[in-house]
Amino acid sequence: MFNPILLFFTCGCVSLASVSMAEPQCHTSKSYHVVEQAFDEEPGARFAVTKISGGAAPSECVFDEKAADYVIGGEGDPLWFGEISGSTLVLTRSTGPQGNLVVYDLGSGEAILDAPADEYELKGKTLSYWERTTIKATAKTCPTFAENEANGMGSTIVALKTLNVETGTIQKAGERKCAATQ
């Protein structure tokens, strides 16, 4: 069994903060291999991204920051895996019930969306999501307002938007609904 404390005292070369005891998780599309490594002392994970060229993804699931093309996330940035499709990586950022939807274009390594949203659906090149708005939820604008309050919840108005993951273009669908919040 690996003992980071013994390694630290033996060679003095490993920082305990950089060693994660959690098993890495692998996620693969046809073009990208993403290795998720959870933090031990912080919420969330880091993601090592490698382009798959000329064949299959690696057979082993190992988080290797140096071998990766780049790494997404760091301590203090609570990112969680959502899904991968083609060159699109969907993550969420949160330490509680409501968070942000964060979408990366793995080809560029850049975030193309970072929005206050929880519900989403990725179909092909279109990501549909419900973004929290600044519109005040009231009994008049939210049919479940009283029920939400009775259950100790808040209410917010969310608007349906779509993101074309190839172009980065966001469109408002015009639909709105009321959602419960904590």
Would you say residue 14 has pLDDT above 50?
A: no
- Same domain as 90, residue 130: no
Query: What's the domain range around 142?
Result: 116-182
pLDDT beyond 50 at 5: no
Q: How many CB atoms lie within 10 A of CB 76?
A: 9
Residues 88-127: pLDDT tens digits? 999 999 998 889 999 999 999 999 999 999 899 999 999 9
For residues 111 and 27, state if they share a domain.
yes
Q: Which two tokens stand for residue 19?
A: 């060693």
Q: How many domains does the chain have?
A: 2
pLDDT at 18: 47
Same domain for 90 and 129? no
Residue 61, judged by CB atoms within 10 A of its CB (0-12, 13-18, 19+), counts as: middle
Residues 97, 123: one domain?
no
Both 53 and 41 in one domain: the answer is: yes
For the residues of the chain, what is the DSSP string, one character each?
---HHHHHHHHS---GGG---SPPEEEE-SSEEEEEEE-SSSSSEEEEEEE--SSPPPSS----TTTSSEEE--TT--EEEEEEETTEEEEEE-SSSS-EEEEEETTTTEEEEEESEEEEEEETTEEEEEEE-SSPP-TTT-TTHHHHHHTT-EEEEEEEEEEETTTTEEEEEEEEEEEEE-
Across all residues in the chain, what is the average pLDDT?
A: 88
pTM: 0.83
pLDDT in tens, 37-71: 999 999 999 999 999 987 777 788 999 999 999 99
Residue 5 in domain: no
**Res. 20 pLDDT band, cuts 50 70 90:** low
